[in-house]
Structure 1
């Protein structure tokens, strides 16, 4: 009995001792953080998939992984993204670095801002692990910029932001994935933001666009529901795999 308990204890410790090597930063606003309803499948541990907690420690990635607004967060796209990469054996172990903040506009992510500094600091902690490399930046944002003034300059502002972020993280060719805003949005000019997001790969090297076509909202016409977020994460993974700078 003692030996059995010892084996279980060692196995449990080993599960938490693994340091992820393939690091992905998750940034943007609430649809990146995820507001989907958490179900039993979202609580199952995925082997070799971890998340960096608010306290900057690695734990198995169990939804919700974001912590920006504790009363609202839920299922996001991070777990299904990581699970797909593991499924295709594209990476050895995934370390998700959640740093999105609900309601944030692009201007709140400019270099030197609180959200920007927090994201950079968290990635640097994640990269302290042995053989750890930043493999990608996942971005979903734009709802807060769906206004006349903000939408007109979105692509220009995003380009400056992502170039500086890559530089500050020491990865000028780091793959970047940008997700389409929900087709269900009733906000003014969200279509204009989507057009700019879709054409970013034409002007920013190593960038991929992820379609949200057919995905549904959770009833509020703002946030994707849980099944849609799981599918969205899978699409992000496939977009990453398609980039020459990905695999």
Structure 2
């Protein structure tokens, strides 16, 4: 149509409308050119996933926002207000009254850095829904599918958060694929028998896979810190993380805490993030998942 003889023979007074159409066309093109494809990773759990690492302990390079990673963080009533460039501060410590970003961080920083070091051509989108003090048996309980009244508040929030985040990606014109789940939780359930926690965690994983429509979603679980009183839950986490294809384990070996044996310090949070990346990459390699 742009090259038809009819268009070339239009009277001069008709030309402006034709020019406007061309300008409109070319104005729309950049939105398609700049659209990105993101590998989406889900981050869920309690305080050590939310992160209590002191951001002031990071180096300038570690603190630098990523131009290849975005994050959608929601820890109600606080949130990142949509997608934001990944940087420290997507974490809400108890008693924190300010806005996001805060002065703390979780494993997402080391995770993204290590993933991009291994695969520098990728773009990452992290959906983080975490809450300090939350339990798997109650707060993250997936309940009955399709019946929110039977589900824990954190599980409902997380499913809602994933829906909001992916919808925004689509509305931006971006493409995405949900590539995996990072889970770090267990301190609030440390009194459960290992078999009980293992069953609950597998039920959570199965339901999440169903609810987001990714049946083979890779899952990496992280050990809680060994303070001598968490043997049962640590055993359950190891059992899930080493159960076979599609699962990975992050150990807490060699880590340290800034308090009395619960919350990982800044260096350990960064290390755990790197271990999450290594475990996820191993799953991807073994599954030949591009």
TM-score range relative to shorter protein: 0.7 to 0.9
Unaligned runs of 5+ in 1: 1-13
Aligned mate of 1:29, from 39, 43, 46: 46
The 1:69/1:169 distance shift into structure 2, 3 A limit, reads: farther
TM-score by length of 1: 0.84
Residue 157 of structure 1: how far off its partner (Å)? 1.1
Q: Distance in 1 between the 2:128 and 2:95 partners? A: 13
Aligned mate of 1:47, from 59, 63, 67: 67
SS in structure 1 opposite 2:203?
A: helix
Residue 87 of structure 1: how far off its partner (Å)? 0.8
Query: Cα RMSD between the aligned structures?
Result: 2.4
The 1:201/1:225 distance shift into structure 2, 3 A limit, reads: closer
Residue in 1 that maps onto 2:166: 127
Q: Distance in 2 between the 1:217 and 1:18 partners? A: 41
Unaligned runs of 5+ in 2: 1-30, 74-78, 97-101, 143-150
Residue 79 of structure 1: how far off its partner (Å)? 1.2
Aligned mate of 2:84, from 52, 59, 84: 59
Residue 126 of structure 1: how far off its partner (Å)? 2.7
CA displacement 1:188-234 (0-9 Å, x = unmatched): 3x112111111114546411111110101113321000001001100
- Answering whether residue 207 of structure 2 is matched by residue 164 of structure 1, we say yes
- Structure 2 contact 53–265 (Cα < 8 Å) conserved: yes
Aligned mate of 1:136, from 177, 180, 187: 180
Residue 136 of structure 1: how far off its partner (Å)? 0.9
Residue 25 of structure 1: how far off its partner (Å)? 1.0
Aligned mate of 2:240, from 176, 180, 200: 200
SS in structure 2 opposite 1:132?
A: strand
4+ runs deviating over 3 angstroms: 17-20, 40-43, 67-70, 149-152, 201-205
Residue 57 of structure 1: how far off its partner (Å)? 1.2
SS in structure 2 opposite 1:162?
A: helix
Aligned mate of 1:110, from 138, 141, 144: 141
- Structure 2 contact 53–104 (Cα < 8 Å) conserved: yes
TM-score by length of 2: 0.72
The 1:216/1:202 distance shift into structure 2, 3 A limit, reads: closer
Aligned mate of 1:153, from 187, 193, 196: 196
- Structure 2 contact 68–122 (Cα < 8 Å) conserved: yes
The count of residues paired between Structure 1 and Structure 2 equals: 228
- Answering whether residue 263 of structure 2 is matched by residue 233 of structure 1, we say no
Residue in 2 that maps onto 1:173: 216
